[in-house]
């Protein structure tokens, strides 16, 4: 169905693998279109999405420079908007998204990882926003998300210098959640994904929505928003089943209703 990505469903977890090994999984318009389509048509029953790149060398090495090299201003804006909108879709999916980062996550690759909820990387991972060395800036929302994840000072340092950092440094500054041996990367990502998938899907979706929506709100507005979402949970079958199972010392069976 796709030329540049692979979709594999593992019960309630779906794995989206970017598969363009000749370009180290670089993002061009064709790859972005396929990703957008895949996000629209995730397999039924998907409760968690894991995003990764094929091979051991690269998660996503960046956006495809061969495509960008001859773009003019309107074309550059169109290309940037295409990537930014796909990544925004990932960020706002009503399910958790885990980036399993193997090897290079540079430019658009780092931006893709940042659009995911959780980032788990292998010990050989490298992150960076090297765009200023090419005469451009991060164009898939990198200037927006990096500062929110690691703070404005560190984001400016990484973007202004274009310097790539290793996995241990990415963990230290809060860019990634965990660093694991490369051989264990997908096992660890799927282990976490299955833990998430075992919980009430509507509650997980509400929690994601609250975290995303209230991040920039003042405290009183954020608390009010959360309270509304909290109350809505009590109108779900999952809440009834979950609490009944807890009181009966049984394992809940959540249906996403």
Catalytic hit among 11, 34, 56, 111? 111
- The pLDDT tens digits for 17-59 are 999 999 999 999 999 999 999 999 999 999 999 999 999 899 9
Res 67: pLDDT: 92
- What is the model's pTM? 0.95
Question: Per CATH, is 5-197 categorized as 3.90.226.10?
Answer: yes
Q: Determine which of 62-66, 179-183, 209-213 has the lowest per-residue pLDDT on average.
A: 62-66
- For the chain, residues classed under CATH 1.10.12.10 are 201-247
Longest Cα separation, the chain:
65
- The pLDDT tens digits for 204-214 are 999 999 999 99
- The pLDDT tens digits for 110-153 are 999 999 999 999 999 999 999 999 999 999 999 999 999 999 99
Q: Is 11 a catalytic residue?
A: no
- For the chain, residues classed under CATH 3.90.226.10 are 5-197
Catalytic hit among 34, 54, 67, 131? 131
Give the homologous superfamily in CATH for domain 201-247. Answer: Lyase 2-enoyl-coa Hydratase, Chain  A, domain 2 (1.10.12.10)
- The pLDDT tens digits for 222-255 are 999 999 999 999 999 999 999 999 999 999 989 9
Using CA atoms, how far residue 105 sits from 92, 199, 202, 235, in Å, is: 21, 30, 31, 41
> Residue 1 pLDDT > 90, yes or no?
no
Whether the CA torsion 105, 137, 35, 87 is positive or negative: it is positive
Confidence of residue 256 (pLDDT cuts 50, 70, 90): confident
Q: Is 54 a catalytic residue?
A: no
């Amino acid at each position: 169905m796709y030329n540049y990505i692979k979709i594999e469903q593992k019960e309630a977890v779906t794995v989206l693998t970017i598969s363009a090994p000749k370009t180290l999984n670089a993002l061009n318009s064709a790859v972005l279109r396929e990703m957008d389509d895949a996000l629209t048509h995730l397999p039924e029953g998907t409760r968690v999405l894991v995003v990764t790149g094929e091979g051991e060398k690269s998660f996503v090495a960046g956006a495809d420079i061969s495509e960008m090299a001859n773009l003019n201003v309107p074309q550059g804006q169109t290309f940037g908007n295409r990537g930014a909108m796909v990544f925004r879709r990932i960020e706002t999916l009503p399910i958790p998204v885990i980036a399993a980062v193997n090897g290079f996550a540079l430019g658009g690759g780092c931006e893709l990882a940042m659009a995911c909820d959780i980032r788990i990387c292998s010990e050989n991972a490298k992150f960076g926003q090297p765009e200023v060395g090419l005469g451009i800036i991060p164009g898939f929302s990198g200037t927006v998300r990096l500062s929110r994840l690691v703070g404005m000072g560190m984001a400016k340092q990484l973007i202004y210098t274009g310097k790539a950092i290793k996995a241990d440094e990415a963990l230290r500054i809060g860019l990634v959640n965990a660093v694991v041996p490369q051989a264990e990367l997908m096992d660890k990502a799927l282990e976490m994904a299955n833990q998430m998938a075992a919980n009430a899907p509507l509650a997980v979706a509400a929690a994601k929505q609250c975290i995303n929506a209230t991040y920039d709100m003042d405290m009183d507005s954020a608390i009010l928003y959360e309270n509304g979402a909290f109350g809505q949970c009590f109108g779900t079958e999952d809440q009834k089943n979950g609490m009944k199972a807890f009181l009966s010392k049984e394992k809940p069976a959540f249906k996403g209703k």
